[in-house]
Amino acid sequence: MSSTHPNYHLDDALLSQVLAILDTFQDTYLNKSLLSAGMVTKLAIEGKRLQLGLCYSYPCQTQYRDIVMAVTKELAVLDAIDEVECEIDFQPETVSAISAVEPLPNIKQVIAVASGKGGVGKSTTAVNLALALAAEGASVGILDADIYGPSIPMMLGVEDFKPVSPDGKIMTFAPAHGIAAQSIGFMLDGDQAAVWRGPMAAGALVQLLTETEWPELDYLVIDMPPGTGDIQLTLSQKVPVSGAVIVTTPQDIALADAKKGVSMFQKVNIPVLGIVENMSFHLCPECGHKDHPFGAEGGQKMATRYNVPLLGQLPLQLNIREDVDKGTPTVVADESSQVAGIYREIARKVGAQLALCQAQPKVSISMSDDE
């Protein structure tokens, strides 16, 4: 506890009391106190009104009211304080997991959403994660790197968007539900297929990333193609990825492939931020009975084995699929729903995991393009 902080303007006795209380107030997602996490940016007092500034390293805007109420309740026990005026800010750091890859100028953190196989709801997770991060107060973009099966344009309801290049060098992005989107699907006509060899597809990913006129972004979510091929390798070599989210279902075959994805990211020193388990359970709409048609606890066992968080479990629910088919993913289609709440919880956990990764040393790796 330091009384030399430039924005701490309390007498030593009151400062000691306030810091002691804040040091006991635990942040659920970082598992640290507000003080030890470096979140307390301002302390001042006017009369009996305490002015408290907090700066979060992960987005949690929907939790601000509860945070202020809880902190105020803790500090109200002090005789010198009758009221707490709390200002909360959000400032993520710029993070690239691989030191040899420089961060992009206007993108602070890059999140890869991957799966070991197709059909597990990876793209649905990617769009809802991006929208949930935005709902929590972040500036977010999404890049559809699933070159062979781009689905993000349809899922966001922007199939008709065509990028333009004002200067012949950079392309515009598609605005969709408050986030910025880019996809190879915008360049294809109708049902036209992208028939490319691996290196060409990997090159297209880098081009889409670097030649899009992205706005200032806190997070760029990359929807990866399924598997562990050329594009995934290029990601680790040339893209400043901050961390990866692995999507699976409880089925044994999906889990077996997802384990390969976790292992791949760990081998190239990209932190695995956690696992999202789709189709985890089904709730009977009539009686509320929960069953597990594809098995139970597979995602949790996998998370335990690889020592990564289980970020969330999504139900097998028809409207999740219907919402993306309509171009309005659940996070924006039904903000108050249980599913939207799960996605926002996942977003907060992902942001917090990225914040925790910042304290870890970066690793430099070198691979040739033909490896």
Domains and CATH numbers, the chain: 8-90 (3.30.300.130), 107-357 (3.40.50.300)
**pLDDT the model gives residue 282:** 79
pLDDT score recorded for residue 371: 37
In the 8-state DSSP scheme, what is residue 358?
T
Residue 236 confidence (pLDDT): 74
The lowest-confidence range among 28-42, 130-144, 297-311 is: 297-311
In the predicted structure, residue 362 carries a pLDDT above the cut 90:
no
Regarding predicted confidence, which is higher, 76 or 201? 76
Task: Return the higher-pLDDT residue of 5 and 186.
Answer: 186
Judged against a pLDDT cut of 80, whether residue 359 lies above it is answered with: no
**Quick one: pLDDT band at residue 255, thresholds 50, 70, 90?**
confident
CB 33 within 8 A of CB 24: yes
Residue 310 CB partners (closer than 8 Å, separation 6+):
274, 275, 277, 299, 300, 303
Reported pTM:
0.91
Calculate Rg over the CA atoms of the chain.
22
Task: Kindly indicate the confidence band of residue 57, based on its pLDDT and cuts at 50, 70 and 90.
Answer: very high
**Angle at which helices 122-135 and 338-357 cross, to 10°:** 80
User: pLDDT digit string (tens) for 228-253?
Assistant: 777 777 777 788 999 999 999 888 77
How big is the chain, counted in residues? Answer: 371
Do 159 and 368 contact (CB within 8 A), yes or no?
A: no
For residues 179-203, average pLDDT: 74
The pLDDT of residue 272: 94
Give strand pairing partners of 89. 55
Which of the two residues, 338 and 283, has the higher pLDDT score?
338
pLDDT band at 360 (very low <50, low <70, confident <90, very high): low
Of 131, 191, 120, 189, nearest to 155 by C-alpha is: 131
pLDDT at 48: 92
pLDDT of residue 26: 92
Greater pLDDT, 202 or 305: 305
Please check the confidence at residue 155 and state whether its pLDDT lies above 60: yes
pLDDT value at residue 309: 94
Tell me how far CA of residue 13 lies from CA of 19, 78, 213, 329, in angstroms: 10, 11, 52, 52
What are the pLDDT digits (tens) for 312-352?
999 999 999 999 999 999 999 999 999 999 999 999 999 99
DSSP state of 185: G
Residue range 122-129: mean pLDDT, rounded: 97
Q: Is the pLDDT of residue 365 over 60?
A: no
Percentage of residues of the chain with pLDDT beyond 70: 90
- Report which DSSP code applies to 123: H
For the segment 52-74, the average pLDDT, to the nearest whole number, is 94
Whole-number percent of the chain with pLDDT over 90:
60
Q: Identify the pLDDT of residue 368.
A: 37
**Mean per-residue pLDDT of the chain:** 87
